[in-house]
Structure formats: structure tokens, C-alpha cells
Structure 1
């Protein structure tokens, strides 16, 4: 099941955070794995929602979004590769509405 981001207005230029901290924390010893690379893509776009940039931190990925069609829900897919080579994928949904 995909995570749900807050509803956005199509006029917004806003950040959406994929926080991997809890997922990457080793519950046994508290060590936290580090993200080496990441990609975010709009899976079911209609061309009106645009990703204007991404920022990759050690434990999170931020996607900057702009636009979107009122009444449409989009799915964002985030894939991270850790420094040890492991890869993980998560998705999140964001709805567009006049706010």
C-alpha cells in the first residue's frame, strides 16, 4: 500500500519527503544505513505534475513538485540504493485539489 502525502494545490511549488530513517535503522544495534543514490519518478503522470528537483540526504529523499490536474491522484515512486548496494522501493500518492 502506498503512503499518502498531503493534498496539494496545483499552484503550489512544494516539497514531498520520503523519510527512510526508521526503515534504515537496525533495531538490534541502532546503526542507520546510508542512502548512496536515489530516484523519484511520477508513475502515472498526465504531464501536468512536474518534478522540478530532488534532494538526497543520508536517510531521506525530497521531491519538489509543481502543477498537477485538479481532481487527479498521482503516484510517486522512490528507489534508493544504499552504500552497501541494497535497493529499496516505496511509493506515495498525492492528490491535487483547489485549496
Structure 2
């Protein structure tokens, strides 16, 4: 594979990897915050503050999900438009991250 193509793919895969990581982080944060809200009553002093944080985390989760979808389509398009050896480590890694990204959708 051409060095320039390899570098482009490496960058695109890195963006996808980071987007998936951020999505998973926000999904975990939403779950923890929801559990925390359930365990405390609505009369608790910090309920409103934690509820607002949950809303913000949900918004960031939606944003991260759209970035995962965008990065996934970019990697898929790159793989389709360029000749990349199927057995190349970077190509295998790219396909693994594309698979993870489809699970996020």
C-alpha cells in the first residue's frame, strides 16, 4: 500500500477509534447518572443538578453517535475507493472498528 494512502487510512481509523471511545464513555456516564438519580429521591438537594448533568450527557451521547456514524462512513468510503490489501493489519483494524461502529448505530 502506498505510504500516503496508508497515512490517510491511519488518520481516518484513528478518528473512528476516538469517536467510538467517546461514545462508549458517554453511554457509561449516562447509565451511572441514571442509576444515581434512581437511588436518590426527587427531594434530594442535588437532584436538579444531577438531572441537568444527565441531560447534558445525553446530548453529548447523541453528538458522539453522529460523529461515529460520520467517521464510519468516511472509513468505509475510503476502503471502497482505494485499493487496500485485505490482509494488511491496518485494513483488518479498520474493518474491526467499522463493525464496532455499526453496533453503536
User: Please, what TM-score do these two structures have when normalized by structure 1?
Assistant: 0.26
Q: Please identify which structure carries the higher strand content.
A: 1
Q: TM-score, normalised by structure 2?
A: 0.25
Higher share in helix: 2
